[in-house]
Amino acid sequence: MIEVRGLTKRYRDNVAVEGLSFDVAAGEIVGFLGPNGAGKSTTMRILAGYMPATAGTARIAGIDIFEDPMGVKRRIGYLPEMPPVYLDMTVRGYLGFVGRLKGARGAQLKPEVERVAGLAGVDHILGRLIRNISKGYRQRVGLAQSLLMSPEVLILDEPTVGLDPIQIEQVRKLITDLGETGRHTIILSTHILSEVKATCQRIIMVAGGRIVADAPIAELEQRYGGSLEQAFTALAVS
């Protein structure tokens, strides 16, 4: 479902990511893990079509993200690290706006907005202005918009930032449930190890803009002394 080959992003003399190559199978939940500044968000922005690459290729659902970025965007749901919400809209108005951009029309729009609002736990605040809700709820509204129209691929960049412990557990369960349906392929970018262990089947770890590990969680734990924390520490400085 996701095919990446030699993906590179440079800013003059600074290399954000270099030569990334990996695949994500349909229905898989993959944790894109790494320390701060490792290149996680840059990679997510490129895959979502929000940033061009310097070199390399990437395909989502068989579509080249550089040759047909709009075709890719129709098949993905993207939650960036800072949710792209409009403060002067109500939650319902914002989700309806994004829903129309994603092709929801007529009688389809209202139930679709209510469906994703329920999944993200914001159905009780649909009438409130986004500027008047907390950071955690803004994060959940961002998650709701990424789910509109049931995209084949979900690209989630730090999806639980700003959430309280109860909300974190709810979002983790939602991600796991979405993956278990088999209808969504999910790539989850984070540096929170408990997030990865709670939701993901496999880890791709980056450090210094390069992939330093790509393996199931159990394999990495066995290789590095029995814990993901030890694996992370060893690989982050490799």
DSSP letter string over 46-60? HHTTSS--SEEEEEE
29 contacts 189 by C-beta, under 8 angstroms? no
Residue ranges of alpha helices (H) inside the chain are 40-47, 69-73, 91-101, 109-120, 135-147, 165-180, 193-199, 217-223, 228-236
Angle in degrees, 0-180, between the axes of helices 165-180 and 109-120, rounded to the nearest 10: 120
As to burial, measured by CB atoms within 10 angstroms (0-12 exposed, 13-18 middle, 19+ buried), residue 3 is middle
**Which residues in the chain come in under a pLDDT of 50?**
none
Query: Order of strands across the sheet with 63-64?
Result: 14-24, 2-11, 55-60, 63-64
Helix (H) or strand (E) holding 19: strand 14-24
161 φ, ψ (degrees, to nearest 5)? -60, 130
Task: Give residue 237's pLDDT.
Answer: 76
Domain boundary assignment for the chain? 1-75+153-162+184-238, 82-150
What is the rounded distance in angstroms from the CA atom of residue 44 to the CA atom of residue 92?
A: 27
Residue 7's CB is within 10 A of a number of other CB atoms, namely 24
Q: How far, in Å, are 58, 150, 154, 160 from residue 48 at the CA level?
A: 10, 16, 9, 19
Which value, to the nearest 10 degrees, does the dihedral of the CA atoms of residues 16, 21, 23, 28 take?
Answer: -40
What predicted TM-score, i.e. pTM, was given to this entire model? 0.91
Give me the pLDDT at residue 68, please.
92
Q: Which fold has domain 1-75+153-162+184-238?
A: Rossmann fold (3.40.50)
